[in-house]
Amino acid sequence: MDSRRAIVVLAIACVAYVVAILQRTSLGVVGVDATTRFSIDATALSSLAVLQLGVYASLQIPVGVLIDRFGPRVLIAAGALSMALGQAAVGLASELGVAIVGRVLVGAGDAMTFLSVLRLLGAWFSPRRLPQLQQWVGTLGQSGQLLSAIPFAGLLGVAGWTTAFLSVASLSLLACLLVVAAVRDAPTDHVDERALTLRIALARLKEALRRPGTRLGFWAHAVTQSSPTMFVLLWGYPFLSVGLGYSRELTGALLGLIVVAGALTGPVIGLLSARYPLRRSSIVLGIVTITAIAWAALLLPGDPPSLPAVVVFLTILAVGGPGSLIGFDFARTFNPSASHGAATGFVNVGGFVTTVVLVLVVGLALDAVSGGTTPAELYAWQNWRVAFALQCPVIGLAVVGLIVARRRTRRRLVEEEGIAVAPLWTALVANWRRRRGHGRG
């Protein structure tokens, strides 16, 4: 473990993940163009993202089981090939139906990538490095979003729809070839923990779902990832470019800011998770709280926000991305390594199912309140205030699920390991009294 070969495997796996994020988020920067190209309204546009995310979410558990059975290398290569075919179909599409098929292929390929990369990390690196490595890889992967927001959007404006999509499709094909040529599932001295049959892999999935720590990871992922992913994947670009009237270049730069902010906060969150493993759920709840405050500050005033206010909002929104990786940390620490594929697959469902709901709710709300079909009518500022506010009940229900799962997980910790986790405020008061006592001594 932690060898030079491990670094090579990590680098190629990261390239595959960056390209997967590029393919996933490419739809977000073509929302206005797609509305015109296919002559569709906001609900129809959201159906593209909903289908893509629905396929992604529905495949997470099957993909986790397949990773446990066949290993990550096969899944990453197959996923890259699927995304290449899907983006090529979107690029050549002149009708919405063909584009939908393409985005379904993108969603299927994307579903195979991140879980497989996490499994590679567990095989090639020592456990003490995993929390921070996981954050670094997740953060680096989001640079794919930067690629879609700036160079892809620029290429779209200069060369047109077909050239832009065929260009990014070729990157997935390249990633597939690199993985096949240079990636292996594990070092030669690593014990092969792949399930011998699908029946055994499914049995491991059932065991993982019984553990409350796995369910805690599901809800942690749901409450942190859904809002920023909804924004980046589809609705952020029309909100900034039409709703607030920013240029294509400024909109791309602002979406890129989310990547930069995530890159800066990700290592800090990873360090806090590793240093305070019994307080990870409190970190998640803190992220949800500051995100809710940021949304309220953006939407409650009647007038459109200033550019500095938007920058602050996007910086805070970005924290949810690296924060969602804590969910996978729950899956890793509360399950044996042989079940990590199934457990992480289930956790990943949480964020993306919630994202699907948010994307669809926002699209339906825009159509309901706009009274028009042109981009200027659909994406007016006042319409966004209503549409984005509808996140509150959805994420609120997920927070309730998180709190229930946390109680059950802590009860299991007491029963199985004798570890009692006191409420955060109790621990803070006790720590303050301890420090005060040392100061007097």
| Encoded amino acid at 398, one letter | A
Report the mean per-residue pLDDT for the chain: 86
Contacts of 92 (CB under 8 A, 6+ apart): 98, 162, 165, 166
Looking at residues 288-317, what average pLDDT do you find? 95
pLDDT score at 195? 55
Using one digit for the tens of pLDDT, what is the confidence trace for 171-189?
999 999 999 999 888 887 6
Measured between alpha carbons, how far is 224 from 30 in angstroms, rounded to an integer?
25
pLDDT score at 192? 56
pLDDT score at 427? 58
- Can you give the three-state secondary structure of the chain, one letter per residue? CCCHHHHHHHHHHHHHHHHHHHHHHHHHHHHHHHHHHCCCCHHHHHHHHHHHHHHHHHHHHHHHHHHHHHCHHHHHHHHHHHHHHHHHHHHHCCCHHHHHHHHHHHHHHHHCCHHHHHHHHHHHCCHHHHHHHHHHHHHHHCHHHHHHHHHHHHHHHHHCHHHHHHHHHHHHHHHHHHHHHHCCCCCCCCCCCCCCCHHHHHHHHHHHHHCHHHHHHHHHHHHHHHHHHHHHHHHHHHHHHHHCCCCHHHHHHHHHHHHHHHHHHHHHHHHHHHHCHHHHHHHHHHHHHHHHHHHHHHHCCCCCCCHHHHHHHHHHHCCHHHHHCHHHHHHHHCCCHHHHHHHHHHHHHHHHHHHHHHHHHHHHHHHHHHCCCCHHHHCCHHHHHHHHHCHHHHHHHHHHHHHHHHHHHHHHHHHHHCCCCCCHHHHHHHHHHHHHHHHHC
Using one digit for the tens of pLDDT, what is the confidence trace for 92-101?
988 888 998 9
pLDDT score at 236? 92
pLDDT score at 168? 94
Using one digit for the tens of pLDDT, what is the confidence trace for 357-389?
998 899 899 989 887 777 888 899 999 999 999
> Closest by alpha carbon to 60, among 259, 262, 327?
327
User: Which CATH number applies to 4-440?
Assistant: 1.20.1250.20
For residue 40, give Cα distances in angstroms to 16, 34, 91, 344, 393: 32, 8, 17, 36, 28
pLDDT score at 422? 59
325, pLDDT greater than 90: no
18-27, 196-205, 259-268, 342-351, range with greatest mean pLDDT: 18-27
pLDDT band for position 254 (50/70/90)?
Answer: very high
Measured between alpha carbons, how far is 429 from 414 in angstroms, rounded to an integer?
22
420, pLDDT greater than 70: no
Measured between alpha carbons, how far is 139 from 141 in angstroms, rounded to an integer?
5
Measured between alpha carbons, how far is 7 from 313 in angstroms, rounded to an integer?
35
pLDDT score at 33? 82
For the chain, how far is it from start to end, CA to CA, in angstroms?
46
432, pLDDT greater than 70: no
Contact 76, 113 (CB under 8 A): yes
**Tokens standing for residue 381:** 């500022």
> Closest by alpha carbon to 13, among 109, 82, 77, 86?
77
Q: pTM to 2 decimals?
A: 0.76
pLDDT band for position 86 (50/70/90)?
Answer: very high
